[in-house]
Amino acid sequence: MGYIGLPTASTFATNGITVVGVDVNPKIIKTLQSGELHIYEPGLPDLVKTAISNGKLRIQSEPEEADAFLIAVPTPFYGDKQADLSFVSSAAQAIVPHLRKGNLVILESTSPPLTTTGLVAPILEQSGLKAGKDFNLCYSPERVLPGQILKELIENARIIGGIDTASAEAGRDLYKHFVKGEIILTDATTAEMVKLMENTYRDVNIAIANEFSRLADRFGIDIWEAVALANKHPRVRILNPGPGVGGHCISVDPWFLVEAAPDITPLIHTARKVNDGQPEFVVRLVKRALGSLRNKKVAVLGLSYKADVDDIRESPAVEAAHLLVQEGARVKAFEPYKTTAEIPGLELVSSLAEVFSDAEAILVLVPHTPIRTLEPEVVAKLTPARIIIDAVNTWPVEKWTSGGFKVYRLGVGRS
Give the model confidence (pLDDT) of 135-188 as tens digits.
999 999 988 888 899 999 999 999 999 999 999 999 999 999 999 999 999 999
Name every residue whose Cβ is closer than 8 Å to that of residue 68 and which is 6 or more positions away in sequence.
Answer: 103, 104, 105, 106, 174
pLDDT at 53 over 70: yes
Active site residue 138: no
Model pTM score: 0.89
| Residues 167, 133 contacting (CB under 8 angstroms) | no
Give the model confidence (pLDDT) of 8-29 as tens digits.
999 999 999 999 999 999 999 9
Is residue 135 helix, strand or coil?
strand
Long-range interactions of 18-21: CB distance < 8 A, separation 24+: 18/56, 19/51, 19/56, 19/57, 19/58, 20/57, 20/58, 20/59, 20/60, 20/63, 20/64, 20/66, 21/57, 21/58, 21/59, 21/60
Active site residue 249: yes
**DSSP label at residue 119:** I
Catalytic residue among 133, 176, 180, 249: 249
Query: Which numeric CATH code is attached to 5-187?
Result: 3.40.50.720
- pLDDT at residue 81, rounded to an integer: 84
Average pLDDT over residues 20-43: 93
- Between CA 341 and CA 333 the distance in angstroms is 11
Average pLDDT, the chain: 96
Catalytic residue among 56, 138, 195, 306: 195
- pLDDT at residue 13, rounded to an integer: 97
Q: How confident is the model at residue 415 (pLDDT cuts 50, 70, 90)?
A: low
- pLDDT at residue 146, rounded to an integer: 83
In whole angstroms, how far apart are CA 209 and each of 62, 219, 225, 392? Answer: 45, 15, 13, 12
Name every residue whose Cβ is closer than 8 Å to that of residue 1 and which is 6 or more positions away in sequence.
Answer: 9, 21, 22, 23, 28, 29, 32, 59
Give the model confidence (pLDDT) of 241-284 as tens digits.
999 999 878 999 999 999 999 999 999 999 999 999 999 999 99
Average pLDDT over residues 105-116: 96
Q: Domain boundaries in the chain?
A: 5-187, 278-409
CATH architecture for residues 278-409 = 3-Layer(aba) Sandwich (3.40)
pLDDT at 80 over 80: no
- Between CA 109 and CA 320 the distance in angstroms is 28
Measured in degrees and rounded to the nearest 5, phi and psi for residue 46 equal: -65, -40
Measured in degrees and rounded to the nearest 5, phi and psi for residue 316 equal: -70, -25
Average pLDDT over residues 204-224: 97
H-helix segments, 252-393: 253-260, 266-276, 278-290, 316-326, 352-356, 369-372, 376-382
Taking alpha carbons only, the member of 383, 300, 413, 364 closest to residue 403 is 383
- Are 5-187 and 278-409 the same fold in CATH? yes
Torsion of CA 304, 310, 156, 275, to 10 degrees: 10
Please, what's the b/e burial string for 309-341 (b: 16 or more CB within 10 A of its CB; e: otherwise)?
bbbbbbbbbbbbbbbbbebebbbbbbbbbbeeb
Does the CA dihedral 287-288-292-295 come out positive or negative?
A: negative
